[in-house]
Amino acid sequence: MFSNARLHSKIRLRVNRLMQRAINFARPAPSYRPFTVDQLLNNQASRDLIERFSDVYYKSGAPPELNWRGDTILKNPCDLWMIVELLQRIRPTVVIETGTHRGGSASFYADMLKLIGVQATIITVDLNPKWSFDPADKCIESIVGYSSDANVQNQVRSAVDRALVARPGPVMAMLDSEHSEANVSQELRLVAPFVTLGSYLIVEDTNVNGHPSSPEHGPGPWEAVDKFLAARTDFIADRECERFLLTFFPRGWLKRVK
Ligand SMILES: C[S@@+](CC[C@H](N)C(=O)[O-])C[C@H]1O[C@@H](n2cnc3c(N)ncnc32)[C@H](O)[C@@H]1O
């Protein structure tokens, strides 16, 4: 049996809770709205801040310290995580990469895709790859040579064809070898035809040659992307992929739209 006082206090508590619920239901949505990437990039003050921080981070020596299972990955964490977001969204069965280095990025893509349940082949090209493990163990096909070499390009084409027969599905690509305009342009010509509708061709290090880093670099990935996009309508630069704000690939996240 409740005493009268306890009963009143319980009823008061219940009524208070109901009133709080009603107030929460009727309360207007908060007026705060996050800025969109476009708003931030089109605003001079915020763009300056983003570019200055990106440049400081680029010069800091932090990027080469990213490590995946003992192997270096030469990217910043925000770009790497955006790639993870795209791997989850696109679920590619074939990933083409130019620029293997120590195999850290290829190993990371292979592990991430396995983790999300996608059986994928990673095809990676480098004139001097430095593997610390057997790439075949992770379904990574290592092609050795200059990406501009006709023989290497034929090896890439047949590796992609073979991989697609074994595992049909979306194809994604990342360009991360030599960052001169001429080299990136020829790599774009090589891999663009394989990138499937809705998927991405990521042109890395578009930040060099003053965009905003390494002004002394000379024409590089940014300039190659400029000409590529001006010449065709099947790819767009998806600036939504810059939403973590720190990126070394400004305008380098190319989405196939046709
Ligand atoms: C920036 S590193 C790649 C980093 C790697 N993707 C990662 O995220 O850890 C560039 C690599 O491209 C290779 N490379 C440079 N010029 C090349 C070319 N013309 N063809 C193929 N590989 C090249 C270099 O040997 C080097 O290992």
pLDDT tens-place string over residues 164-221 = 999 999 999 999 999 999 999 999 999 999 999 999 999 999 999 999 999 999 999 9
30 within domain boundaries: no
Residue 107 included in any domain: yes
What's the 54 CA to ligand 1 centre distance in angstroms? 22
Assigned domain for 236 exists: yes
Local confidence band at 22 (pLDDT 50, 70, 90 cut-offs): confident
C-alpha distances out from residue 102 to 105, 116, 133, Å: 8, 23, 10
User: Is residue 121 in some structural domain?
Assistant: yes
List, in order, residues 6 or more apart from 198 with CB less than 8 Å away: 90, 170, 255, 256, 257
Ligand 1 centre from 5 Cα, in Å?
78
Residue 219 lies in a domain: yes
What confidence category does residue 1 fall into, taking pLDDT thresholds of 50, 70 and 90? low
CA of 232 to the centre of ligand 1 (A): 26
Is the shortest distance between the CB of 208 and ligand 1 below 6 Å? Answer: no
Q: Is the CB of 178 under 6 A from ligand 1?
A: yes
pLDDT at 2: 58
Q: To the nearest whole number, what is the mean pLDDT of the chain? A: 95
Which structural domain range is residue 186 located in?
37-256
**63 Cβ closer than 6 Å to some ligand 1 atom:** no
Q: Is the pLDDT of residue 17 over 80?
A: yes
What is the distance in A from the centroid of ligand 1 to the CA of 19?
A: 63
In a domain, 27, yes or no: no
> What's the gap in Å between 177 CA and the centre of ligand 1?
4
Q: For residue 108, is pLDDT > 80?
A: yes
Contact 128 CB / ligand 1 (< 6 Å)? yes
- CB of 123 closer than 6 A to ligand 1? no
pLDDT given at position 137: 97
- pLDDT above 80: residue 39: yes
Question: Does any domain span residue 24?
Answer: no
Distance 194 CA to ligand 1 centre (A): 20
Rounded to two decimals, what is the model's pTM?
A: 0.89
Write out pLDDT tens, residues 59-90: 998 777 799 999 999 999 999 999 999 999 99
Could you tell me if the CB of 177 is within 6 A of ligand 1?
A: yes
Tell whether ligand 1 has an atom less than 6 A from the beta carbon of residue 146: yes
User: How much is the pLDDT for 23?
Assistant: 84
- CATH number of the domain at 170, please: 3.40.50.150
Structural domains counted in the chain: 1
